[in-house]
Amino acid sequence: MRERRSGDGGVSPNLRRALADIRWTPPRLSALIRAMPKVETHLHLDGSLSPRTIKDLALLSGDKTLARKSLAEIERLAVVKSPRASLDRVLSSFQLFYPLLRGPWAVEEAARRVAQRAQGQNVLHFELRFAPALLAADDFPQEDVLKAALRGLRRGAAEFGVSSAVIVCLIRDENLVSDEQNSEMLDLALAYRRRGVVGLDLAGNERARPLSRFKSHYARARKAGLGTTAHAGEAPPGDDLDLALDWGLHRIGHGVMAGKRPGLLERIRERGVTIETNPTSNLRTGAVQSLTEHPAKFWRRAGIPLAISTDDPGLFGIELGGEYEALAGHCRFGAEDLLAVSLQGVDSLFLPERRKRPLRRRWEALARKALASLAD
């Protein structure tokens, strides 16, 4: 899993030459962002529902109150458009989504629509994460949740030409998911290791169960060859970041607090750990006070690989291209930076090298085409 491509994580000499031939202006940078190939690594199924999908799922689940609302009303209810006081305030919004997803058709359709949305952003491949335990019901066991999502992703791949895989999320909050349910989710992830599940994550409130409680879970996942990541350092104090590195996790979700812990950025860089970077999410949860203050620019300068993602495009009402725009507009990422982090996203995917290689070739060809369309 830790195989890395040769070079410095930067773009190829061919692309660099093409980049140098273009006189970059903000509109051209925006055109590049629209046209360039991307991948997405940090993307929650339950955070991906658009107001339209919420309305459709409400109709299906018999939630008449929600189904009767207009799309604008649902948007006001379900989309976190301005910064909240804390991560908890944002996480509580998810309570609206879980009941809508407790059935096979709902999960399958929601997953299919993630692929549709991805196609619109020129995404070649995405990794979709969720906790089957949060969507399960008495007549809808965890395994059926996972199977429904995999069906939706397969349909999405066939219809929209975007490949994908699943990351299973263990959950920190005891009031949402028990130890037993977390163990069941891990067993499920391991059982589906060659059938669509590629990684293990830990999500939820960092002040609930710490990462240290999940040592055996991560050890088993690693041994089985699953990719490993965890939400860590999304909010203060970020103690789990040190442990994530000690355990050799492949990626870190958010990591905003990394710069506040002495020597940590250096360790992340040395180990080649990729930070799943979600700028708007970090702003809306109050992890950063403004996009200009987002640490992505320091990470990039320090040589840490980044994988740009939305986290929750439905919950925040955003698209992946907008996250690249945020980096260009507020963190001074130029055209080469944007292409380089997109490619680092490809490198960080939880895929075997034999599947990454053709993806990289496709990425290179599409990046070259995008630049050619912008040449003077």
Interface with Zn ion (CB under 5 A): 311
Is the Cβ of residue 127 or residue 311 nearer to Zn ion in the bound state? 311
Burial 235-261 (b: 16+ CB within 10 A, else e): beebbbbbbbbebebbbbbbbbbbeee
Distance CA 97, CA 47 (A): 8
Is the Cβ of residue 45 or residue 66 nearer to Zn ion in the bound state? 45
Give min distance, CB of 2 to Zn ion, in A: 22
C-alpha distances in angstroms, 176 versus 38, 72, 136, 361? 33, 29, 12, 42
Compute how many other C-beta atoms are within 10 angstroms of the C-beta atom of residue 189. Answer: 26
Distance CA 343, CA 371 (A): 15
Is the Cβ of residue 9 or residue 313 nearer to Zn ion in the bound state? 313
Report yes or no: 112 and 152 within 8 Å, Cβ to Cβ: yes
Is the Cβ of residue 245 or residue 287 nearer to Zn ion in the bound state? 287
Give min distance, CB of 209 to Zn ion, in A: 16
Q: Which residues share a beta bridge with 369?
A: none
Angle between helices 335-348 and 320-330 (to 10 degrees): 140
Report yes or no: 356 and 120 within 8 Å, Cβ to Cβ: no
Is the Cβ of residue 240 or residue 311 nearer to Zn ion in the bound state? 311
Give min distance, CB of 31 to Zn ion, in A: 29
Angle between helices 104-120 and 51-61 (to 10 degrees): 170
Give min distance, CB of 223 to Zn ion, in A: 25
Is the Cβ of residue 24 or residue 94 nearer to Zn ion in the bound state? 94
Give min distance, CB of 47 to Zn ion, in A: 7
Structure tokens belonging to residue 356: 């990454």
Distance CA 40, CA 114 (A): 11
Is the Cβ of residue 311 or residue 364 nearer to Zn ion in the bound state? 311
C-beta nearest to Zn ion: residue: 311
Is the Cβ of residue 55 or residue 182 nearer to Zn ion in the bound state? 182
Structure tokens belonging to residue 80: 């976190």
Give min distance, CB of 95 to Zn ion, in A: 16
Give min distance, CB of 235 to Zn ion, in A: 12
Q: Which residues share a beta bridge with 168?
A: 130, 200
Give min distance, CB of 341 to Zn ion, in A: 18
